[in-house]
Amino acid sequence: MADLKSAAPLLEVEDLRVHFHTPRGEVEAVRGLSFTLGRERLGIVGESGSGKSQTGRAILGLTAGNGRITAKTLRFQGQDLLSLSPKQWRAVRGARMSMIMQDPKYSLNPVMTVGDQIVEAYRQHHRVSAAEARQRALAMLARVKIRDPERVFATYPHEVSGGMGQRIMIAMMLIPEPDLIIADEPTSALDVTVRLQVLAILDDLVRERGMALIFISHDLPLVSSFCDRILVMYKGRVVEDLKASDLQSARHPYTQGLLGCLPRLDHRQETLPVLRRDPRWEHGTLEEVMR
């Protein structure tokens, strides 16, 4: 069983599509995405609206009510995600794959204490006493370098800073020890001064526990320094799939464009500078675009 698991890729995605029903008609947010993931760190880069978050949500089965997912294959640890019952999903989410959300200001429940939220994440998947769960949560808070776990445990989300909030988020999502963690722009909402700190904490934990990571960002240099492999997304499709070390020899003009206008780490940049876009990027394969 263990052999089978390690032999098969962790996650297989083939021709993933996410459609939305809107009053203005059908919107296709993800249009035929394919990749396989081992125990590695995969970066997904692309401009805002390219479908990165919707890819992450589809993998977790949390597409919004007006959305529909189709795929030829969507398998996690050999299990077909498309046919899971709600109950089966709950055993997968949190326990085996989890997601770090973008902005702790909105992604933590404002009327529950930080401690209660972390304890809830743990007890959802482990039958332990409240006292033991509390000890675990305190230890996890210490692991994400929170100096005074006892105090932070009893605080409410509005009482902590953004950097602290994101460390709490990391603690909460990693405490059940999932095999795959999806981090959706985990530092975009943070002050520049604490970004690297939070990333270092995440990096440490991912390495230490041998988890697979999907790191979603619009920040190509950040992703390339953090991941083994990179998917470049454009309008709901992967336009290039390459090793982080091969980034300098990227062939797709869009990737080159992203590289050419590298956003600098020392100031915040919401959108990438305008590229000269080619309509062929929307449909053509890399080979067709290069021709």
Partner 1 sequence: MTERAEQGGPETASPSRSGARQASPGRVRLKRAGLLLLRTFGSLAVTFLGLLIITFLIGRVLPIDPVLAAVGDRAPADVYDRVYHEMGLHLPLYQQFFDYVVKIFQGDFGTSVLTSRPVLDDIVRVFPATLELATIATILGVLLGVPMGVLAAVHRGRWPDHCVRVLGLFGYSLPVFWLGLVGLLLFYMKLDWVGGPGRLDAAMEDFFEPVTGLILVDALLQGDMEVFWNAVSHITLPAALLAYFSLAYIARMTRSFMLEQLAQEYVLTARVKGVSEARVIWRHALGNVMVPLITVIALSYAHLLEGSVLTETVFAWPGLGSYITSSLLNADMNAVLGGTIIVGGVFIGINLLSDLLYRLFDPRARR
Ligand X SMILES: Nc1ncnc2c1ncn2[C@@H]1O[C@H](COP(=O)(O)OP(=O)(O)O)[C@@H](O)[C@H]1O
Helix (H, G, I), strand (E, B) or coil at 103: coil
137 binds partner 1 (CB under 8 A): no
82 binds partner 1 (CB under 8 A): no
Token pair listed for 68: 């529909």
C-alpha span between 137 and 120 (Å, rounded)? 10
Give Rg (Cα) of the chain.
19
Q: Rounded to the nearest 5 degrees, what angle is found at the Cα of 100, between the Cα atoms of 97 and 101?
A: 130
Helix (H), strand (E) at residue 89: helix 86-92
101 binds partner 1 (CB under 8 A): yes
110 binds partner 1 (CB under 8 A): yes
Which one, 37 or 45, has the nearer CB to ligand X? Answer: 45
Q: Determine the interface stretch with ligand X among 4-12, 47-55, 130-138, 224-232 (rule: CB under 6 A).
A: 47-55
Instruction: Count the neighbouring beta carbons within 10 Å of the beta carbon of residue 224.
Output: 23
Partner in contact with 91, chosen from ligand X, Mg ion, partner 1, none, beta carbon below 5 to 8 Å by kind: partner 1
Cβ 52 to ligand X, closest distance in Å? Answer: 3
Residue 85: CB partners within 8 Å, gap ≥ 6?
A: none
Q: Are 43 and 217 in contact (CB under 8 A)?
A: yes
Q: Which of 9, 43, 51, 61 binds ligand X (CB under 6 A)?
A: 51
53 binds Mg ion (CB under 5 A): yes
C-alpha span between 221 and 244 (Å, rounded)? 10
Which one, 75 or 237, has the nearer CB to Mg ion? Answer: 237
50 binds Mg ion (CB under 5 A): no
Q: Determine the interface stretch with ligand X among 48-56, 91-99, 191-199, 205-213 (rule: CB under 6 A).
A: 48-56
Q: Are 227 and 41 in contact (CB under 8 A)?
A: yes
Q: Which of 6, 48, 109, 285 binds ligand X (CB under 6 A)?
A: 48
Partner in contact with 92, chosen from partner 1, ligand X, Mg ion, none, beta carbon below 5 to 8 Å by kind: partner 1
Token pair listed for 289: 């675009």
Q: Which of 15, 62, 66, 246 binds ligand X (CB under 6 A)?
A: 66
Token pair listed for 62: 């949390």
Helix (H, G, I), strand (E, B) or coil at 163: helix
The label of the residue with tokens 């919707």 reads 54
Print the binding letters for residues 2-41 with ligand X: x by CB under 6 A, - otherwise.
------------------x-x----x-x------------
# residues near ligand X by CB under 6 A: 15
Q: Are 87 and 30 in contact (CB under 8 A)?
A: no
Residues lying near ligand X in the complex (CB under 6 A) are found at 20, 22, 27, 29, 46, 48-54, 64, 66-67
Binding site for partner 1 (CB under 8 A): 60, 62, 86, 89-95, 98-99, 101-103, 106-113, 120-121, 124-125, 156, 158, 169, 172-173, 176
